[in-house]
């Protein structure tokens, strides 16, 4: 402080006289100076602190600020497409619009609600209530809408209407090949199926850019921001043929509906390459709607499940016996009268045969013959053949979750192991392994690695994946012999229901009792049919496998017809080329006066006539056009030729047929009452009337529940909703 005055003292000794001014003394100035110095130092400290914050360490704080103004924005790559072998899209990424509103700003909530309702079919009130009830400034109304670009919403002007584009994976074929294709999660990451297995190919690499947040929190691009473009995922082309897949799935569905099986699977391979042409698994799901799918529906039963194959395995045995020169097809074999006892083990044939050639034994599927013949092999040799056909080892298919099945090692064998394995027990295989083994026989003994990714895009070019030979397991001549035996199985053995006019089919039935609580149980079967066609020039090897069919259990009765129908439709569609000569051969092989009633549920009337005609059975005349929904004579029943087979027919579209056959197919006894739940009252009544019942309808809408009378006539009450 500047020099002051050398004045003052304490002028007023009388403290009680308050009103008189007290002149300030000199003493006490030092204290003011102390205060001045202390506060000045504090101000200096503040200035230094500012200097530090604003000059010395400013960059550090600025960087912290930039971090909060700048936001790294991920630029999502387009996920690669999945195409079928003909270039049809299976899975693709589509930008879809999501609609949200700011309830405080929205100007025309009623109009928005009306437009959304027009797209989704939900009532307006759903949206108006969402808007009204929201307390925040943002509420989603609908996400990832499909056809919004056609709606007035797309260019509606409303301050509070928020439209965002989101990339969503879309599956063009819905249910078709769903377990193979799999699906992605909301962030477009592969979760199951090929979406998972080929995720690294499909996903690509994201790019990014930096957006600047201004003082008001809005993000906007800056001119000098780095922009790293995303690298889109690769397209992959599958070996699948989606039209073939469609045929396979539709016939599997129909076959499951008709037989009441719990589940089923079909695999079709191209024998000379190992390409998987179709792979179906029921029950299925729609990957566009994967949140509603159950684990049961998502399982790819062709590779994730294993079964005891039963008699279809005899084909492998036959190939082994022929390859080793232990038998020829025409050798006579001992049949033991259809019953062979070995220690305390008894092997029996369902349909005992007397004296027979080896060929007959396969055609008639004799357990006894194969069990006894298997004893000619050493354990090691037997095991090696089974392994070389691809059983008990991973096929290496490019799909997730493959199981390798169970094949005992020689040291685990007891005296009866080979006897059981020879007719398809005490080992577990996947449908794919079985198909691959049949494909090897169709391919002249060369085992090919099954695969499903046919080509991968690389800068616009499609790079083909080459087929891969695994090993030669048997010779070409062995395969030719086996094929001719398998053709006979279909011609006049257990597999006649797989027969297709004008085409030779090589195949083998299989009916395996399932282990239930450790015992082979009656009533629980795996019914399968494995084969390939055309026999002269095999283009497709295929296995049909049904789990626990209820109406007819023989593979020949429930799986063979599915196989046959698929083969016929493939031939008709041109997917399989047939030798003209064979086509002309008429193979009428229903000997004698009797015929076996086939399963005709699910067929059209025309198909049923076509199936019944050759074996000498007839449908009554004057049936309406449509699908057969019930048959009075159980499949497998022996009938005199010329019998008229009464059946109920209902006109339905194929989709409706499938839904009648499938909806809850494994719990209703369809041969008595079809499941009409979920159908419109009109169709339900038509079915009910066709079956000879009267109907009573309660309510309106779709059928929720149906009450059937006890007898075969009476009134069915349909409760609608």
Does position 354 bind another protein by CB under 8 A?
Answer: no
SS3 315: helix
List 215, 325, 518, 592, residue binding another protein (CB under 8 A): 215
Q: Which of 254, 257, 249 is nearest to 278 (CA)?
A: 249
Tokens of 117: 């309702």
Q: Does 45 bind another protein (CB under 8 A)?
A: yes
Query: Measured between alpha carbons, how far is 590 from 414 in angstroms, rounded to an integer?
Result: 42
Where does this chain touch another protein (CB under 8 A) — which range of 32-40, 132-140, 304-312, 538-546? 32-40
Whole-number Å distance between alpha carbons of 196 and 180: 10
| Half-sphere exposure at residue 66, Cβ-oriented, CA atoms within 13 angstroms | 9
**What is the per-residue binding string for another protein in 217-236, x denoting contact by CB under 8 A?**
x-------------------
Peptide bond into 534 cis (omega under 30): yes
User: In this chain, which stretch among 209-217, 586-594, 692-700, 705-713 interacts with another protein, using CB under 8 A?
Assistant: 209-217
Concatenating the DSSP letter of every residue in 341-404 gives: EETTEEEE-SS--SSEEHHHHHHTT-HHHHHHHGGGS-HHHHHHHHHHTTTTS----SSTT---
Pick the closer one to another protein by CB: 55 or 621: 55
Q: Which H or E run contains 104?
A: none
The 50-79 site mask, x for binding another protein (CB under 8 A), equals xx-xxx-xxxxxx-xx--xx----------
User: By CB under 8 A, which span of 24-32, 120-128, 604-612, 651-659 interacts with another protein?
Assistant: 24-32
Span of 1-9, 168-176, 239-247, 711-719 interacting with another protein by CB under 8 A: 1-9
Q: Is the C-alpha dihedral spanning 368, 370, 376, 381 positive or negative? A: negative
Q: Which of residues 2-21 bind another protein (CB under 8 A)?
A: 2, 4-5, 7-11, 13, 15-16, 18-19, 21
Residue 575 CA to residue 544 CA, distance in Å, equals: 18
- Each as own residue / partner, the long-range contacts of residues 149-153 (CB below 8 Å, 24 or more positions apart, any chain) are 149/97, 151/115, 151/118, 151/119, 152/115, 153/97, 153/99, 153/112, 153/115, 153/116, 153/119
Binding mask 500-519 for another protein (x = CB under 8 A): --------------------
Catalytic residue among 192, 259, 263, 311: 311
Report if residue 640 touches another protein, rule: CB under 8 A: no
Tell me, yes or no, if 125 is annotated catalytic.
Answer: no
Could you tell me the smallest distance in angstroms from the CB atom of residue 226 to another protein? 20
Based on the shown chain and the rule CB under 8 A, indicate whether residue 42 belongs to the binding site for another protein: yes
Closest CB to another protein among 28 and 123?
Answer: 28
Minimum distance from residue 39 beta carbon to another protein (Å): 5
In the bound complex, what is the minimum distance in angstroms from residue 218's beta carbon to another protein? 9
In the complex with another protein, the residue whose CB is nearer, 121 or 215, is 215
Task: By CB under 8 A, tell whether 621 contacts another protein.
Answer: no
Rg (CA), the chain: 38
CB of 295 to another protein, least distance (A): 46
Cβ contact 71:211 at 8 Å = yes
Q: How far is the CB of 36 from another protein (least distance, A)?
A: 5
Identify which of residues 49 and 149 has a Cβ nearer to another protein in the complex.
Answer: 49
Q: Which stretch binds another protein (CB under 8 A): 28-36, 396-404, 531-539, 691-699?
A: 28-36
Give the count of alpha carbons within 13 A of 408, CB side only: 20
Q: If DSSP codes are grouped into helix, strand and coil, which group holds residue 437?
A: helix
C-beta closer to another protein: residue 36 or 520: 36
Query: What minimum distance in Å lies between the beta carbon of 205 and another protein?
Result: 32
Non-local (6+) Cβ contacts of 657 within 8 A are 254, 602, 627, 629
* Count of residues engaged in binding another protein, rule: CB under 8 A: 56
Which residues make beta-bridge pairs with 604? Answer: 627
Minimum gap (Å) between residue 252 Cβ and another protein: 60
**Between 61 and 672, CB nearer to another protein:** 61
Q: For residues 17 and 155, which CB has a smaller minimum distance to another protein in the complex?
A: 17
First to last CA, the chain: 97
Least gap, CB of 58 to another protein (angstroms): 5
CB of 454 to another protein, least distance (A): 53
Range in contact with another protein (rule: CB under 8 A) among 44-52, 73-81, 277-285, 427-435: 44-52
Alpha carbon distance 262, 258 (integer Å): 11
Bridge pairing between strands 453-458 and 236-238 = antiparallel
Annotated catalytic residues are 311
Per CB under 8 A, residues contacting another protein are: 1-2, 4-5, 7-11, 13, 15-16, 18-19, 21-29, 31-33, 35-36, 39-40, 42-43, 45-47, 49-51, 53-55, 57-62, 64-65, 68-69, 213-217
């Amino acid at each position: 402080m500047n020099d002051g005055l050398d004045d003052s003292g304490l002028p007023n000794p009388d403290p009680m006289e308050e009103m008189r001014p007290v002149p300030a003394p000199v003493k006490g100035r030092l204290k003011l100076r102390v205060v001045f110095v202390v506060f000045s130092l504090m101000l200096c400290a503040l200035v230094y602190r500012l200097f530090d914050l604003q000059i010395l360490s400013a960059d550090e704080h600025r960087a912290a600020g930039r971090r909060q103004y700048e936001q790294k924005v991920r630029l999502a790559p387009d996920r690669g497409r999945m195409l079928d072998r003909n270039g049809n899209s299976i899975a693709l990424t589509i930008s879809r619009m999501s609609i949200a509103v700011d309830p405080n700003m929205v100007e025309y909530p009623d109009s928005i609600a009306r437009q959304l309702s027009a797209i989704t079919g939900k009532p307006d009130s759903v949206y108006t209530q969402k808007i009204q009830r929201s307390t925040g400034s943002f509420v989603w109304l609908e996400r990832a809408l499909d056809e919004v670009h056609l709606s007035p919403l797309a260019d509606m002007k409303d301050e509070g209407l928020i439209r965002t584009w989101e990339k969503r994976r879309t599956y063009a074929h819905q249910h078709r090949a769903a377990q193979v294709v799999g699906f992605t999660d909301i962030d477009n990451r592969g979760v199951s199926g090929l979406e998972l297995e080929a995720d690294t190919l499909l996903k690509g690499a994201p790019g990014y850019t930096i957006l600047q947040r201004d003082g008001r929190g809005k993000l906007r691009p800056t001119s000098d921001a780095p922009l790293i473009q995303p690298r889109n995922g690769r397209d992959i082309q599958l070996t699948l043929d989606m039209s073939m897949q469609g045929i396979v799935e539709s016939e599997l569905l129909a076959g499951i509906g008709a037989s009441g099986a719990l589940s089923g699977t079909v695999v079709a391979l191209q024998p000379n390459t190992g390409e998987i042409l179709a792979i179906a698994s029921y029950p299925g799901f729609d990957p566009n709607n994967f949140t509603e799918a159950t684990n049961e529906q998502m399982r790819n039963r062709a590779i994730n499940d294993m079964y005891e194959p039963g008699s279809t395995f005899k084909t492998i045995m036959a190939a082994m016996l022929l390859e080793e020169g232990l038998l020829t097809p025409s050798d006579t074999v001992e049949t033991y009268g259809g019953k062979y006892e070995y220690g305390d083990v008894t092997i029996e044939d369902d349909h005992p045969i007397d004296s027979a050639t080896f060929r007959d034994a396969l055609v008639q599927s004799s357990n006894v013959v194969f069990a006894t013949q298997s004893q000619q092999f050493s354990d090691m040799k037997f095991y090696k053949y089974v392994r070389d056909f691809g059983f008990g080892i991973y096929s290496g298919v490019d799909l997730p979750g493959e199981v390798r099945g169970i094949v005992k090692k020689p040291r685990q064998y007891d005296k009866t192991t080979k006897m059981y394995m020879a007719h398809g027990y005490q080992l577990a295989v996947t449908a794919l392994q079985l198909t691959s083994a049949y494909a090897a026989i169709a391919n002249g003994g060369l085992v090919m690695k099954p695969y499903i990714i046919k080509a991968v895009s690389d800068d616009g070019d499609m790079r083909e994946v080459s087929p891969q030979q695994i090993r030669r397991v048997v010779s070409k001549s062995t395969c030719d012999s086996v094929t001719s035996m398998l053709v006979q199985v279909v011609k006049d053995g257990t597999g006649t229901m797989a027969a297709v006019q004008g085409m030779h089919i090589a195949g083998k039935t299989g009916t395996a009792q399932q282990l239930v609580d450790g015992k082979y149980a009656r009533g629980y079967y795996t019914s399968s049919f494995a084969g390939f066609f055309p026999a002269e020039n095999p283009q497709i090897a295929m296995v049909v496998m049904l789990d626990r069919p209820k109406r007819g259990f023989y593979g020949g009765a429930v799986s063979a017809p599915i196989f046959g129908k698929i083969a016929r439709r493939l031939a008709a569609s041109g997917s399989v080329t047939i030798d003209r000569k064979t086509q002309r051969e008429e193979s009428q092989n229903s000997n004698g006066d009797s015929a076996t009633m086939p399963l005709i549920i699910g067929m059209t009337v025309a198909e049923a006539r076509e199936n019944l005609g050759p074996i000498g059975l007839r449908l009554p005349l004057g049936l309406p056009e449509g699908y057969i929904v019930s048959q009075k004579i159980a499949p497998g029943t022996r009938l005199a030729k010329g019998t008229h087979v009464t059946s109920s027919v209902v006109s339905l579209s194929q989709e409706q047929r499938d839904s009648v056959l499938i909806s809850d197919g494994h719990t209703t006894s369809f041969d008595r009452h079809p499941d009409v739940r979920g159908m419109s009252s009109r169709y339900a009544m038509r079915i009910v009337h066709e079956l000879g019942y009267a109907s009573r309808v309660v309510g309106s809408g779709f059928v929720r529940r149906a009450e059937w009378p006890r007898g075969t006539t009476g009134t069915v009450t349909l409760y609608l909703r």
